[in-house]
Amino acid sequence: MAVQNKSRYIKFGIYLILLVLLNVAGLTLYLRADLTKNRVYSLSKVSREVVATLKEPLTINVFFTKNLPAPYNTVERYLRDLLEEYSLSGNRYFNYRFYDVTPLEEGGSAHSAENQRLASDYGIQPVQIQAIEQDEVKIKKAYMGLAIVHGDMVEKVPTITSINGLEYQLTSAMMKVNNKISALLKLEKPVEIKLYISPSIREVAPYMGLKDLPELDNGVNEIVTELNRTMYGKLSFSTVEPSGQEEIAALADEHGLMHLKWPDIPQSSVKAGSGVIGMVVEHGGQSMALPVLQVFRVPLFGTQYSLVSPDEIDEMITESVESLIGINESIGYLTGNGALPLYGMPGSQTEPATSFVQLLSKSYSLKQVDLKDGGIPEGLKTFVIAGPTENFSDYELYQIDQALMRGTNLALFLDSFQEIMPQQGGPFGQMPQYVPNDTGLEKLLDHYGVRVNKSIVMDENCFTQRSSRQYGGEQKIYYAPIIQNRNINSDIACMANIKSMVGLAMSPLEIDEKRLAENKITATRLFSSSERSWEMRDIISLNPMFIRPPAGEEELRSYPLAYMLEGSFPSYFADKPIPEKPAATDEAADAQEGEKPAPKADLSGFEGTTTLASSARPGKIFVVASSHLLRNNVLDAEGQTPNSAFVMNVLDVLNDREDVALMRSKVLSLNPLNDPRAQTKIFIKSINIVGLPVLVVGFGLLVLLHRHVRKNRIELMFSKRGES
Contact 409, 427 (CB under 8 A): no
What are the b/e assignments for 563-585, b being 16+ CB within 10 Å?
A: bbbbbebbbbbeeeeeeeeeeee
Residue at a domain's end among 186, 201, 219: 186
Asked if 348 and 289 sit in the same domain, the reply is no
Say which residues have a Cβ less than 8 Å from residue 598's Cβ, sequence separation at least 6.
Answer: none
What number of CA atoms fall less than 13 Å from residue 192's CA on the CB side? 14
Q: Is residue 720 part of a domain?
A: no
Q: Is residue 277 part of a domain?
A: yes
Question: What is the predicted pLDDT for the residue at 1?
Answer: 55
Question: What is the predicted pLDDT for the residue at 592?
Answer: 44
More confident residue, 392 or 711: 392
More confident residue, 329 or 484: 484
Count up the domains in the chain and report the number: 5
Asked if 22 and 104 sit in the same domain, the reply is no
Q: Is residue 378 part of a domain?
A: yes
Indicate the helix (H) or strand (E) that contains 330: strand 329-334
* Amino acid at site 363: S
CATH number at residue 531: 3.40.50
Which of 524-533, 611-620, 674-683 has the largest mean confidence? 524-533
Asked if 402 and 480 sit in the same domain, the reply is yes
Given a cut of 50, is residue 524 above it in pLDDT?
yes
Mean pLDDT of all residues in 289-308: 72
CATH number at residue 148: 3.40.30.10
Asked if 340 and 443 sit in the same domain, the reply is yes
Residue at a domain's end among 289, 311, 327: 327
Question: What is the predicted pLDDT for the residue at 9?
Answer: 79
Of 335-344, 408-417, 428-437, 696-705, the one with minimum mean pLDDT is 428-437
pLDDT tens digits for range 45-56: 888 888 998 888
- Cα 232 to Cα 156, 182, 226, 279, distances in angstroms: 18, 11, 11, 21
Asked if 172 and 240 sit in the same domain, the reply is no
Mean pLDDT of all residues in 162-172: 83
Q: Is residue 481 part of a domain?
A: yes
pLDDT tens digits for range 19-63: 888 887 776 665 666 666 666 667 888 888 889 988 889 999 999
Question: What is the predicted pLDDT for the residue at 30?
Answer: 58
Asked if 411 and 281 sit in the same domain, the reply is no
Helix axes 354-361 and 642-654, enclosed angle (nearest 10): 60
CA–CA distance, 486 with 317 (Å, rounded to integer): 45
Q: Which residue stretches of 532-641 are H helix? A: 587-592
Question: What is the predicted pLDDT for the residue at 627?
Answer: 93
Backbone angles phi, psi at 488, to 5 degrees: -105, 130
CA–CA distance, 512 with 566 (Å, rounded to integer): 14
Range of the domain at 314: 187-327
Mean of all residue pLDDT scores within the chain: 82
Q: Is residue 543 part of a domain?
A: yes
Question: What is the predicted pLDDT for the residue at 611?
Answer: 57
Entry pTM = 0.70
Given a cut of 70, is residue 540 above it in pLDDT?
yes
Backbone angles phi, psi at 19, to 5 degrees: -65, -40
Asked if 119 and 255 sit in the same domain, the reply is no
pLDDT tens digits for range 600-625: 433 333 333 445 666 657 889 999 99
Other CB atoms closer than 10 Å to residue 206's CB: what's the count? 13
Asked if 466 and 318 sit in the same domain, the reply is no
Question: What is the predicted pLDDT for the residue at 420?
Answer: 83
Question: What is the predicted pLDDT for the residue at 348?
Answer: 56
Asked if 6 and 99 sit in the same domain, the reply is no
- Reported as a pLDDT band with limits 50, 70 and 90, residue 647 is very high
Given a cut of 60, is residue 121 above it in pLDDT?
yes
More confident residue, 596 or 290: 290
Asked if 294 and 411 sit in the same domain, the reply is no
Mean pLDDT of all residues in 271-297: 81
Q: Is residue 599 part of a domain?
A: no
Indicate the helix (H) or strand (E) that contains 138: strand 136-142
Asked if 313 and 460 sit in the same domain, the reply is no
- Cα 62 to Cα 351, 473, 524, distances in angstroms: 38, 47, 43
- Reported as a pLDDT band with limits 50, 70 and 90, residue 97 is very high
Mean pLDDT of all residues in 450-467: 90
Asked if 382 and 468 sit in the same domain, the reply is yes
* Amino acid at site 184: L
- Cα 56 to Cα 181, 239, 246, 542, distances in angstroms: 11, 36, 51, 56
